[in-house]
Structure 1
Amino acid sequence: MDLTLSDEQRLLRESVDRFVTETFTAEHRKRSANEPLGFSPAIWKQFAGLGWLALPIGEAHGGLGGGAIEIGILMEAFGRGLVTEPYLSTVVIGAALVGACGTGAQKQAILPDVAEGALTLAFAHSERAARFDLGHVETTATRSADGWRLNGNKTAVLDGAAAKQIIVSARIVNANGASGKLCLFLVPADAPGLRVRDYARLGGGRGCNLDLNDVALPADALLGDGSDALPAIEAVVDRAMAALGAEAVGIMQTLLDTTLEYTRIRKQFGRPLSANQVIRHRLADMAMQVDEGRSMALRAALMADAEPVARSRAASGAKAKIGKCARFVAEQSVQLHGAMGVTEELDIGSYFKRLLAFETLFGGSAHHYRRHAALSGRLQA
């Protein structure tokens, strides 16, 4: 298999690397932490001008028709810069759900605005009792005379407070009161009855919890034709995990590079730390973990369009393996920097926190080891 990047992909990597290096400095990250939305709207507009928001959107709706490999190139660079802009929530997840489930009119109304940077999205799916089970949804949608009524609670909604439209998953309540299909609904951020409880996320960015108390929506708020949305949700979340894996690889590579440089210049007993054989072994182990993580992220991206079982198996395998690699690299980096590794003077702590957040998004390593094993059993059967 030829894994060489195409000319277009190399140009994309060079441009995003250059932009992230020049823009996302330590000073920029400090300013972004004080932004009400958790990111810079001006930078978001620049993303649109560079074509990054349009990258995975279909050409029929103002996009560029890129795939998971191109998203991985972007996300790896975003990891190196600790980017907090809502790319994952709006483009990788939100726009993909609209593209997979929406009607022609809904796609035409939403996707061009996402590509232009005029519309931000969020996906409200996780619930407290779900424990990362994508099919466990207790939020309900009841038909009303003029549309729908939504009731329930959602947790850990990425960039929910910054979204103009929130895609909410809910079970349709049948006439007999029983829960039916799992469907998606477009909920405006200012919908009456919607309560948003915003908070800062570990490692940068913001999340929120949602309370939906008899939220009234029009009939066309239903995303798509009312078919069961679970297969589309699973596919989009698998793609999101591949993208997150690439972001984690970018963070791990930065930690490795920073630690290598530090051990070369930090002297102890008259010689650099890197001259110590034990330190060299630890650095070599870090490099190996970074390469293993990169391989797993690439595999998940390559399998993003495979049949469901193989796709999900690759995504869960990547999430589980990269989670272990990330923790090892982060802990080694902090230890080799000594006491400074946990101070605000260095970025090491910020990268460490982002990797801890990565571990919990969409389920930790233990959850995905179990999911991978279950999927492997289905594959063998």
Structure 2
Amino acid sequence: MDFNFTEEQEMVRDGLSRLVREEYGTETRREVIASEAGWRPEIWAQLAELGILGMPFSEEDGGFGGGAIDAMVVMQEFGKGLVVEPFVPTVVCAGGFLKHAGTTAQKEEHIGGIVDGSRVFAFAYAEPRGRYDYADLETSARKDGAGYVLNGHKAVVICAPWASHLIVTARTSGERRDAQGISVFVIDKSAAGVVTRDYPTFDGRQASEVYFENVTLGAEALIGEEGAALPLIEQVTDEAIAALCAEACGAMKVANDITLEYSKQRKQFGVPIGKFQVLQHRMVDMYTEYEQSVSMTYLATLRLDASERERKLAASAAKVRVGQAAHKVGEEAIQIHGGNGMTDEYAIGHYFKRLTLFDSEFGNVDHHMKRHIALSAG
């Protein structure tokens, strides 16, 4: 199998690498995440101008004919700079729902805005008591004539403070945890009855608790078939998992490089700590974890177009392996840096925070281990 990237993908990688180096230095990022906005709309606009936001969409949908591999290339570079701009919620998640199940009118209304950067989406799926079960929903969308009335609470909605629109999962029929009766809606965040409570996350991003209080939705807000959205949600979240794994790989690559460089400069007993064999072994282990993560990310990305079972197996396997590696690399990097690693001034602490929080997105290691075992047994 040919694992080489195309000339266009290499050009995108080089361009993004340069952009991240120039615009996402440690000091600059620290100032951005501490600012009132918490992100840079001008960078988002620049990504749109470069065609990055339109890469994964087909030309028919107004994009540039790319796919999951292109998104993987983008996310690896974003991971290297700990980029906070909402590529996964907007392009991968919202774009995924629209690509796979959106009507022609929905695609025309929203995808163009994603591609040109004028529309930012957040994916509101998690609930306080739902854990990682996408079917465990208390948020409801009650039928009201041709439309719906939405009520409920979504927790830790990443990038929601910046969003103009939300993709929301809700129960339209059945009982809590039923696989049937789940639907997906696209909502203007400024709609009457949408209330948000914004806060920063541990890794420097922004999130919201989102409350829906008798939000009136038209029939055009429904994406896909009413009550049959669970397979669609699983497909889109598997695509998001592959993209986040790529981001984690980029972050691990830099964490390893920073730690190696630190080991050459930091001295104990008059010699660089990198001379100590025990630390050399630990850094080799960190590099091995990174390389295995890259391989599993490639596999998960390539299997996104495979059968449903193969896609799920590959996504869960990657989430487990990359999650374990992210924990290992982050922990070892901090320990090798010692107390310096936990200070805000040292870049490694920021990489540790992002790698730590990676495990909680779209299912942690334990959840995906169980999912993989269940799929393998079936």
> Given the two structures, how large is their TM-score scaled by the length of structure 2?
0.96
SS in 2 for 1:337: helix
Question: Which letter maps to 1:269?
Answer: F
SS in 2 for 1:58: coil
Partner of 1:188: 188
Q: Provide the C-alpha distance between the structure 2 equivalents of 1:85 and 1:228, rounded to a whole number of angstroms.
A: 31
**Contact 1:150–1:212, Cα closer than 8 Å, also in 2:** yes
Partner of 1:210: 210
Segment drifting more, 304-313 vs 1-10: 1-10
Partner of 1:337: 337
Partner of 1:65: 65
**Contact 1:293–1:318, Cα closer than 8 Å, also in 2:** yes
**Contact 2:44–2:117, Cα closer than 8 Å, also in 1:** yes
Question: Which letter maps to 1:16?
Answer: L
* TM-aligned CA deviation for residue 292 of structure 1: 0.9
Q: Provide the C-alpha distance between the structure 1 equivalents of 2:179 and 2:242, rounded to a whole number of angstroms.
A: 32
Partner of 1:7: 7
* TM-aligned CA deviation for residue 36 of structure 1: 3.5
* TM-aligned CA deviation for residue 226 of structure 1: 2.8
Segment drifting more, 359-368 vs 127-136: 127-136
Q: Provide the C-alpha distance between the structure 2 equivalents of 1:180 and 1:315, rounded to a whole number of angstroms.
A: 23
**Contact 1:172–1:183, Cα closer than 8 Å, also in 2:** yes
* TM-aligned CA deviation for residue 146 of structure 1: 5.7
SS in 1 for 2:38: coil
Q: Provide the C-alpha distance between the structure 2 equivalents of 1:5 and 1:223, rounded to a whole number of angstroms.
A: 33
Asked if 1:233 is matched to 2:241, the reply is no
Segment drifting more, 186-195 vs 110-119: 186-195
**Contact 1:101–1:229, Cα closer than 8 Å, also in 2:** no
Question: Which letter maps to 2:94?
Answer: G
Segment drifting more, 270-279 vs 137-146: 137-146
CA root-mean-square deviation: 1.6
Partner of 2:162: 162
Partner of 2:18: 18
SS in 2 for 1:303: helix
Question: Which letter maps to 1:353?
Answer: K
The count of corresponding residues between Structure 1 and Structure 2 is 375
* TM-aligned CA deviation for residue 129 of structure 1: 2.0
* TM-aligned CA deviation for residue 18 of structure 1: 1.1
Partner of 1:369: 369
Distance 1:280 1:196, change over 3 A: same
Q: Deviations over 1:181-236 (max 9, x none)?
A: 21111211111111111111111211111111111122222223536111111011
Asked if 1:76 is matched to 2:100, the reply is no
Partner of 1:327: 327
Q: Provide the C-alpha distance between the structure 1 equivalents of 2:284 and 2:29, rounded to a whole number of angstroms.
A: 30
Asked if 1:34 is matched to 2:34, the reply is yes
**Contact 2:181–2:228, Cα closer than 8 Å, also in 1:** yes
**Contact 1:103–1:225, Cα closer than 8 Å, also in 2:** no
Alignment of 1:77-116 (within 5 A): 77-116=77-116
* TM-aligned CA deviation for residue 28 of structure 1: 1.9
Q: Deviations over 1:75-104 (max 9, x none)?
A: 111111010001111001111111112111
* TM-aligned CA deviation for residue 25 of structure 1: 0.9
**Contact 1:172–1:180, Cα closer than 8 Å, also in 2:** no
**Contact 2:89–2:122, Cα closer than 8 Å, also in 1:** yes
Partner of 2:152: 152
Partner of 1:354: 354
Percentage identity across aligned positions? 40
Question: Which letter maps to 1:234?
Answer: E
After the TM superposition, which segments of 4 or more aligned residues of structure 1 sit over 6 Å from their partners? none
SS in 1 for 2:156: strand
SS in 2 for 1:60: coil
> Given the two structures, how large is their TM-score scaled by the length of structure 1?
0.95
**Contact 1:45–1:117, Cα closer than 8 Å, also in 2:** yes
Partner of 1:131: 131
Alignment of 1:227-306 (within 5 A): 228-306=228-306
Partner of 1:198: 198
* TM-aligned CA deviation for residue 21 of structure 1: 0.8
Question: Which letter maps to 2:292?
Answer: E
* TM-aligned CA deviation for residue 62 of structure 1: 1.4
Q: Provide the C-alpha distance between the structure 1 equivalents of 2:135 and 2:22, rounded to a whole number of angstroms.
A: 42
Q: Provide the C-alpha distance between the structure 1 equivalents of 2:171 and 2:217, rounded to a whole number of angstroms.
A: 15
SS in 1 for 2:78: helix
* TM-aligned CA deviation for residue 160 of structure 1: 1.3
Asked if 1:43 is matched to 2:4, the reply is no
Question: Which letter maps to 2:316?
Answer: S
Segment drifting more, 59-68 vs 83-92: 59-68
**Contact 1:171–1:179, Cα closer than 8 Å, also in 2:** no
* TM-aligned CA deviation for residue 34 of structure 1: 3.0
Question: Which letter maps to 1:264?
Answer: K
* Alignment gaps of 5+ in structure 2: none
Distance 1:298 1:180, change over 3 A: closer
Asked if 1:307 is matched to 2:307, the reply is yes
**Contact 1:172–1:179, Cα closer than 8 Å, also in 2:** no
* TM-aligned CA deviation for residue 266 of structure 1: 1.7
